[in-house]
Amino acid sequence: MRFYIVDDDSAVRAVLHKIIEDEDLGELVGEAASGEQLTSSFLNFKGVDILFIDLLMPIRDGIETIRHLLGSFNGKIIMISQVESKELIAQAYKLGVEYYILKPVNRIEIVTIVQKVLARIQMERSFMDIQNSLNKLMDVQGTRIISEKERSWEGICDFLLTELGITGETGAADLINVLEYLYSCEHSYTFEHSFPSLKDIFRQTAKRKLGSEASDLEINREIKAAEQRIRRAVLHSIIHFASLGLTDYSHPSFETYAARFFDFEVVRKKMRELQEHSLPADSSTKINTKKFIQIFYFEVNRLKTDH
């Protein structure tokens, strides 16, 4: 089974990680100090079976995070907290939490509860296997496969945007539009050797978005606006990785994506600026939009293949 831990206390995350490993309960596939960037698509793409989540956290607490995941996260949720308020506990259970565990966490309690949740997951999966077999007999498999492909596409994009720290940025939607355009013209380009110019990418994406009736003035305005939105998203991603690097230089997301998407000197410079609390104007940060789009396209393709 696959676990994900969200708690602003690194000591609690470490304890839970150790219990999962020592008791051979499964694999920890990620952790976070806040629920701010957490999305259902990200967790589902990671294949998370059980999410441990703290109640009291900065920016977005456990209750708000669960509301954000409600109805679309495929796994089970176990809440951990030092809060003993009956009202909050009742609210957590009402939102679908499997169990509410009080801190400090106890190894025996954690193991017992996780085993109960795992047993329930196994039972539900057995039921789903039976249901899928019935679906095949009823010849409805085609529809189910299409929906899985659609969820996979959305999940991959959401996963990568989350890893880049730009899920909530307006430029994220523009990146998806660019990606859709690039997929539509794959037959015209061998992208490994020749990539469309940035000018062509933005112009064609604007035309697809506005429709054939749009005037040149409208298209040019949309091009400029999209360029600015994507540039701001790329800048936000640089700041995200710089902050991540300062907190944990060995963080998997930092190691995997920082150097892949950006020149490392750009990230290092931003890290120094954050340390010195002397962030300059955005225009002084070197941003290579075309490289970012290229890597985004190739990375989505790689994740699709791996997934």
Distance (Å, whole) CA 198 – CA 210: 18
Burial 202-223 (b: 16+ CB within 10 A, else e): bbbbbbebeeeeeeeeebeebb
Q: How many CA atoms, within 13 angstroms, populate the side-chain half-sphere of residue 115?
A: 9
Percent of the chain at pLDDT above 70? Answer: 85
Give per-residue pLDDT as tens, 81-140. 998 888 888 888 888 899 999 999 999 999 999 999 988 888 777 766 665 555 555 544
Q: Which domains does the chain have, with CATH numbers?
A: 2-130 (3.40.50.2300), 157-306 (no CATH)
Are 234 and 294 a contacting pair, CB within 8 Å?
Answer: no
Q: Which region among 27-31, 129-133, 258-262 has the lowest average model confidence (pLDDT)?
A: 129-133
The pLDDT value recorded for residue 289 is 92
pTM: 0.57
The number of helix segments (H) and strand segments (E) in the chain equals 13, 5
Give per-residue pLDDT as tens, 276-298. 765 554 556 788 999 999 999 98
Residue 141 reports pLDDT greater than 90: no
Q: How confident is the model at residue 191 (pLDDT cuts 50, 70, 90)?
A: low
Distance (Å, whole) CA 290 – CA 276: 29
The phi, psi pair for 190, rounded to 5°, reads: -100, 90
Distance (Å, whole) CA 40 – CA 74: 8
What DSSP character marks residue 105?
P
Bigger pLDDT: 215 vs 302? 215
Residue 251 has which token pair?
A: 């963080």
**Long-range pairs, 119-123, Cβ under 8 A, ≥24:** 120/76, 121/1, 121/49, 121/50, 121/76
Residue 216 has which token pair?
A: 């040149």
Mean of the per-residue pLDDT values for the chain?
A: 84
The pLDDT value recorded for residue 119 is 85
Are 246 and 275 a contacting pair, CB within 8 Å?
Answer: yes
